[in-house]
Chains A and B, each alone.
Chain A
Amino acid sequence: MKKVCLVKGGNFVLGIEARYILSRRHKMLPHETAGKEREIFHLGSLLARKHCEHPEPGSVFLQLHKGKNTFFLLVDQVIDEIELPEQTTRLPPPSPELAEQLCPQVAVCMNLVVLLLDPAQVIPVARQLGQGIGVLAPEHWAQPPVPVDSAARQPAKGTKNGPGTAVPNRLIRKNKKRPKSVDEETFKRVMAWTIAQFKQGKVGTEHLAADQLPPGLVQQEGVSDTVIQYLIDQISLRCQESITPTRPGEQHGG
């Protein structure tokens, strides 16, 4: 017996062998994952030979792998997981060639016919159809990168860090955009902590990271790590400048 996921794409129900499914995701793909993917495929529009306008609510991203290909396929729904007998037959005539290519095998389970999708053929079939058919537009699958400004506006829930903690530090530090300012109390506290750390010889992001602040030090609501990190970086920079002698002819840009 083989495990098969029954998935719905438009008006069609197909089976995908579970061994080809690396992961499932109900939400949009995170920015980092999305950045690696050139194309995401949409089963419903591929089978209907049309462009996808809006994915169905509750659609599921399946990461499929077969042979050299690993890719994401958006299906309308994962209906069920079933076990099928190993014995399958070829798709009978007069099935069209594209269907034979995409679903070369069929099986019968509980008197129902299950067409088995060959994941290795999704990309070739989409290429044959051309014109972007079956390819999902990026706005339907990629979470936009979290802008620092919007991160700063998000309220903290339970912890001082809030939702902004999900964004990796290296992404935050690359972002040179000036964040929303903090209140005076937070500024003073962060500055005092940063200077104290600096006096102990701690410099650089590995020693002066927002997530190293003592718990409870930042009490301002709605301020994210992104904002705090920007503040720490600026204070740290000033501290370093204060001990670096200015060479003749060099003007301070501050």
Chain B
Amino acid sequence: MNISLIVPCFVDQFYPQAGLDAVKVLERLGMIVNFPTAQTCCGQPAFNSGYWNEARAVARHQMAVFRDAGAVVILSGSCGAMVKVFYPELFQGQPEEAEAKTLAAKTYEFSDFLVNKLGVLDVGAQFSARVTFHDGCHGLRELGLKDPPRQLLRHVRGLELVEMKEAETCCGFGGTFAVKFPMISTAMAEVKCKSAIETRASVIVSNDSSCLMQIRGLLDRQQYPIKTLHLAEVLART
């Protein structure tokens, strides 16, 4: 199957390994991966800040880039929610509504694609570690992806998955919220990290690098010896 990959802008710049590993996993499963280099950002920062016209301008660009794509795989629940849930809302009653809905329907978050589109649970990965999974809120609540990442992790050889008490609690990132209200955002991250540490896991895994940027940021500052990895980085290990 030919697929087009969306690598979120901050993953492109800060966490390219997650993107490379996603390609590795998809190719291992026989996918022909295409990365249209004209892609930029999904427009979520403008949308969440209330600048819907500006968000529409960016969304129109992304929709044009992926107009002729087959299945689109996106490496973030949050950017995935932007495309799948909020593009159709942004263009409701506008000429681009149909196109927004078409892109939404053919776009899959990474774990969603593997589990629900390809029907794959075991990607042949091996990773010996005690791992806890953090649900990005958009993936969890906008896209309803509670199970797929966990199903994938449970099939990784050597991996022990332990649930943290606050697995579904927001890490406090929230895009511009993290810098507009840093004190609240940090307090939320503290709750999250404390809960992850209580599991005695050595790695926090998530399908959203933005959450991991927040969690990693606090863990580093408070010098906690616990690693963070994107789901794709775990699934790529053999």
Do A and B pair up? The answer is no
Question: Which residues in A have some Cβ–Cβ distance to B below 8 Å?
Answer: none
Question: Which residues in B have some Cβ–Cβ distance to A below 8 Å?
Answer: none
